[in-house]
Chains A and B, each alone.
Chain A
């Protein structure tokens, strides 16, 4: 059995959780590692729950372990981990998988510590099943590590966009197994006491956007984003920026794409004035099509892109906006 920790958003299971489910199912199918189970911690709204059931059915999940407790309403990593450990102890899976998100990695780190086993973060593939060897991203995706996982339960997170979510051949009707986790007061000490919801939707939109317009040092300053935001609007996309831009304080950190920001996988990524350092490439390399706009034809972003336009973004982007408006009129 493989158990996958599932995170939810307004549309059911998050995209990266569905990727992790597909990743786990394909490992299970190939290695004959038995049924796929999911674990969900804490309450979800009814409409989200309905969408989640649909996603789990589509991914071929046999059972959903749902940890239900009033004390799980506010997020506490240790409490979530206690619930997941309960599932591991009752179901004895061969593998425990989560999406390689901040939460996924955090909860798995707690679980692995509690179980005194290793944890592999940001796995992109399973190399061999016996012994279990996985390949995972290190150095922000610039290198990879083959890592052995010899413990009775292998704990691993799946790197964002390491695979596309694919439906199982046969959909299932996941059995719902609600349980009350074993929580101690200590598990609830480090928990969210308040959420300030500002500009949040942007970062959520960034990781799931079909089009992302990128902006780097070439924007020139905090006032250099007007035409880029216009292009973002015209394409109904999201703005993502390089580390330089957030370090200089030109744009907020939650817009950063890269090793120390978000990992994106849009259909189209349009990096403008971004040189394409490894730190940035780590966050954008999963884009299906990359169209670079850069004044330097030798910039790594240009040579790694599928398409490029050479020149000053402040001349090119307004011309694209104009052309888009003309054709959309």
Chain B
């Protein structure tokens, strides 16, 4: 029986045009909506699979605004059993603060009798891209940590994990409890079913609130990268453009190397 805690972050959907808020402290998502990163969707899927395979539990947690309940409900709808919402003013939180807030929940739950054998997070948040919350959390909890993992299974009291490394797929084995950050690519997140959505509405959600941040993000401001005006040269339409394409590739020195 493995208890999994999976952490998700409510982030602006960045598939379209990006706008910034007037104070330049965050992305203005009013017109684009919110989501969680693909990595976290896979982490939720893995949490649900592990809980189901071991007759354990999958708890989903978010450190964020009260609106993050939407992302928690989505995870509940695909099979997480309960949720924790740690309310925090995330713009003022840095990665160390987020890790501390998650560690507080893990420690509090342990003292209440629930030990999370495995804590899963996304490899990096889709918005702030800090690449470090999972590692900082592991140190706060005194646990081993793996990052960039695409597949993880539990066998007895050990986790077997796989991820892409520079020389191929790397296999790790580590004792539980542990922290693992997930990269998309190993599992396909399931879609919520109608009964799943109904169940999600009734699933227990614990509301907590994080203390003030002690470190902060160090953010001066956000800005948009300099945009370049389009100066595309259309070489032609359809297959007739092939000679022009090969002329270009030859000019660029990449033909017959």
Which residues of A are at the interface with B, using a C-beta cutoff of 8 A?
A: 7, 9, 75, 77-78, 102-103, 105-106, 108-110, 112-114, 118-122, 133, 135-150, 157, 186, 189-198, 200, 203-204, 210-211, 235-237, 243, 246-247, 249, 253-254, 256, 259-260, 267-268, 277-279, 289, 291-292, 297, 302-312, 315-316, 318-320, 322-324, 327-328
Please tell me if the beta carbons of A106 and B238 are within 8 angstroms of each other in the complex. no
Please tell me if the beta carbons of A138 and B128 are within 8 angstroms of each other in the complex. yes
In the docked arrangement, what's the CA distance between A186 and B217, Å? Answer: 29
Please tell me if the beta carbons of B237 and A192 are within 8 angstroms of each other in the complex. no
Taking A119-B130, A253-B184, A307-B248 as contacts, is the C-beta distance between A138 and B165 under 8 angstroms? no
Taking A113-B139, A119-B130, A133-B220 as contacts, is the C-beta distance between A190 and B144 under 8 angstroms? yes
Binary contact readout B117-145 vs A (1 if CB under 8 angstroms, 0 otherwise)? 00000001011111110111001000011
Residues of chain B lying within 8 A (CB to CB) of residue A147: 217-220
Nearest CB in chain A to that of B94: its residue = A118
Please tell me if the beta carbons of B222 and A145 are within 8 angstroms of each other in the complex. yes
Taking A109-B136, A192-B170 as contacts, is the C-beta distance between A148 and B220 under 8 angstroms? yes
Please tell me if the beta carbons of B230 and A148 are within 8 angstroms of each other in the complex. no
Please tell me if the beta carbons of B242 and A323 are within 8 angstroms of each other in the complex. yes
Question: Chain B's nearest CB lies how many Å from the CB of A322?
Answer: 7
- Kindly state whether residue B56 has any CB partner on chain A within 8 Å: no
Question: Chain A's nearest CB lies how many Å from the CB of B241?
Answer: 4
Q: Name the prevailing secondary structure of the B interface residues.
A: mixed
Residues B1-29 near A (CB distance < 8 A): 12, 14-16, 18, 20, 27
Question: Chain A's nearest CB lies how many Å from the CB of B220?
Answer: 4
Taking A260-B184, A291-B245 as contacts, is the C-beta distance between A112 and B139 under 8 angstroms? no
Please tell me if the beta carbons of B241 and A140 are within 8 angstroms of each other in the complex. no
Please tell me if the beta carbons of B132 and A112 are within 8 angstroms of each other in the complex. yes
Residues B193-241 near A (CB distance < 8 A): 215, 217-225, 228, 230-241
Residues of chain A lying within 8 A (CB to CB) of residue B170: 75, 192, 194-195
Contact partner, B168, options A106, A197, A268, Cβ 8 Å: A197
Contact partner, A268, options B96, B164, B252, Cβ 8 Å: B252
Please tell me if the beta carbons of B129 and A138 are within 8 angstroms of each other in the complex. yes
In the docked arrangement, what's the CA distance between A122 and B125, Å? Answer: 13
Residues of chain B lying within 8 A (CB to CB) of residue A316: 238-239, 241-242, 245
Contact partner, B129, options A7, A113, A122, Cβ 8 Å: A122
Nearest CB in chain B to that of A7: its residue = B166
Residues of chain A lying within 8 A (CB to CB) of residue B88: none
In the docked arrangement, what's the CA distance between A210 and B185, Å? Answer: 26
In the docked arrangement, what's the CA distance between A148 and B217, Å? Answer: 9
Residues of chain B lying within 8 A (CB to CB) of residue A278: 14-16, 18
Q: When A and B form their complex, which 3 residue pairs have the shortest distance between CB atoms, in order from nearest? A: A253-B185, A319-B239, A197-B168
Question: Chain A's nearest CB lies how many Å from the CB of B46?
Answer: 15
Nearest CB in chain A to that of B123: its residue = A102
Contact partner, A113, options B127, B135, B245, Cβ 8 Å: B135
- Kindly state whether residue B257 has any CB partner on chain A within 8 Å: yes
In the docked arrangement, what's the CA distance between A106 and B144, Å? Answer: 13
Contact partner, A192, options B145, B165, B186, B232, Cβ 8 Å: B165
Residues of chain B lying within 8 A (CB to CB) of residue A106: 131, 135, 147-148
Please tell me if the beta carbons of A143 and B166 are within 8 angstroms of each other in the complex. no
Q: Show 21 residue pairs from A and B whose CB-CB distance is below 8 angstroms, ordered by the A residue.
A: A75-B170, A106-B135, A109-B135, A110-B139, A139-B12, A145-B128, A190-B144, A190-B172, A192-B165, A192-B170, A192-B172, A253-B150, A253-B186, A260-B37, A260-B184, A279-B15, A304-B230, A308-B234, A309-B237, A318-B239, A323-B243
Taking A110-B135, A121-B124, A291-B245 as contacts, is the C-beta distance between A139 and B148 under 8 angstroms? no
Nearest CB in chain A to that of B136: its residue = A113
Question: Chain B's nearest CB lies how many Å from the CB of A150?
Answer: 7
Residues of chain A lying within 8 A (CB to CB) of residue B253: 267
Contact partner, A189, options B94, B144, B185, B232, Cβ 8 Å: B144
Question: Chain A's nearest CB lies how many Å from the CB of B101?
Answer: 16
Please tell me if the beta carbons of B217 and A311 are within 8 angstroms of each other in the complex. no
Residues of chain A lying within 8 A (CB to CB) of residue B165: 75, 102, 192, 195
Nearest CB in chain B to that of A304: its residue = B230
In the docked arrangement, what's the CA distance between A2 and B240, Å? Answer: 54
Question: Chain B's nearest CB lies how many Å from the CB of A3?
Answer: 19
Residues of chain B lying within 8 A (CB to CB) of residue A260: 37-39, 183-184
Please tell me if the beta carbons of A138 and B256 are within 8 angstroms of each other in the complex. no
Residues B69-123 near A (CB distance < 8 A): 94-96
Please tell me if the beta carbons of A195 and B131 are within 8 angstroms of each other in the complex. no
Residues of chain B lying within 8 A (CB to CB) of residue A302: 232
Taking A118-B215, A253-B150 as contacts, is the C-beta distance between A309 and B245 under 8 angstroms? yes
Please tell me if the beta carbons of B173 and A324 are within 8 angstroms of each other in the complex. no
Please tell me if the beta carbons of A143 and B246 are within 8 angstroms of each other in the complex. no
Please tell me if the beta carbons of B164 and A190 are within 8 angstroms of each other in the complex. no
Binary contact readout B147-170 vs A (1 if CB under 8 angstroms, 0 otherwise)? 110100000000000001111111
Taking A195-B169, A303-B232 as contacts, is the C-beta distance between A139 and B129 under 8 angstroms? yes
Nearest CB in chain B to that of A210: its residue = B254
Please tell me if the beta carbons of B254 and A319 are within 8 angstroms of each other in the complex. no
Please tell me if the beta carbons of B18 and A139 are within 8 angstroms of each other in the complex. yes
Residues of chain A lying within 8 A (CB to CB) of residue B236: 309-310
In the docked arrangement, what's the CA distance between A329 and B173, Å? Answer: 52
In the docked arrangement, what's the CA distance between A219 and B135, Å? Answer: 38
Residues of chain B lying within 8 A (CB to CB) of residue A102: 147-148, 164-165
